[in-house]
Chains A and B, each alone.
Chain A
Amino acid sequence: MNATAFIVIAIITIAGALAAATLPKLIHAALSLVIVFVGIAAYFFLLGAEFVGLVQVFVYVGAVAVLILFTILLTRRDIVSERGINWGGVIVALAVFGGLLWIILNTTSLAVLAPQFEPLTVKQIGESLMTDYVWPLQCVGLVLTVALIGALILVMEEKIER
């Protein structure tokens, strides 16, 4: 595993995440979120899961990020003045991070080296999607259809009764 690549991606990803969580302007936060998604996709490439990395870029950068930006534009008149920082959230987040860190560093069974690895081809993924995972695949298709219709109904213009 390439150590330099790991460190560079880690710095970029975490900086992007911090920017996404703390920047005052929504557009900037959404664009930083894109950096995080690309960074995570780079990690997937590093870990040998190229297909998932490509799907990640495709779905998150191509679809979710554009959706978020569109929503920001549609609700632009509402610029929330953030009064101070909500310290409760910061404390909870820090506590969760500390707890997770403590657990990770104290679990001995995690200290394993990466096993010998043969690259995962798209064909293998496709075959298992069509054999062992047919039912989850169909359910995901159903969920996506329902989400599509639901989102359309939610944002459909209501008839103005005056």
Chain B
Amino acid sequence: MTSTLQLFLIVSSALFSIGLLAALSRRHAIFILIGIELMLAAANLNFIAFWRFGSQPQPPVGVMVAIFSIAIAAAEATVGLALVIAIYRHYRSTNVDQLNQLKG
């Protein structure tokens, strides 16, 4: 018999694997970003699930970590998308397979 915590972990690991799938198998740079966002969201779900099923210390560590990780994820998405736009301006493409030069 699986417990509820295990169910949450299974869902979040499924989300993580799907994110990994998107990040590894797609060629468009924005798909890779979407995959990374999925993985981060799965990690957040884990933090909250462990906080809820743990001994609930004061201060609520799991909730705090989740809040900070959401903030960091927002910063990551901003910079990532700015990079995508910069790369697109330069190469006229966002296909990561074509970005194989070190020289600009």
Direct contact of A and B (CB under 8 A): yes
A21, A43, A110, most chain B CB atoms within 10 A: A21
> Across the interface, do B52 and A43 meet the contact criterion of CB distance under 8 Å?
no
| Closest CB in chain B relative to A112 CB, distance in Å | 6
Q: Which residues of B contact A55 (CB under 8 A)?
A: 67, 70
The count of chain A contact residues (Cβ–Cβ below 8 Å) is 84
Measured between alpha carbons, how far is A154 from B80 in the docked complex, in Å?
10
> Across the interface, do A40 and B45 meet the contact criterion of CB distance under 8 Å?
yes
Q: Which residues of A contact B23 (CB under 8 A)?
A: 89
Q: Which residues of A contact B6 (CB under 8 A)?
A: 104-105, 110-111
Q: Which residues of B contact A114 (CB under 8 A)?
A: 4-5, 52-53
> Across the interface, do B44 and A40 meet the contact criterion of CB distance under 8 Å?
yes
A8 an interface residue at 8 Å Cβ cutoff? no
The 8 A-B residue pairs with the shortest CB-CB distance in the complex, in nearest-first order: A89-B25, A89-B24, A128-B59, A97-B17, A147-B75, A21-B22, A93-B21, A151-B82
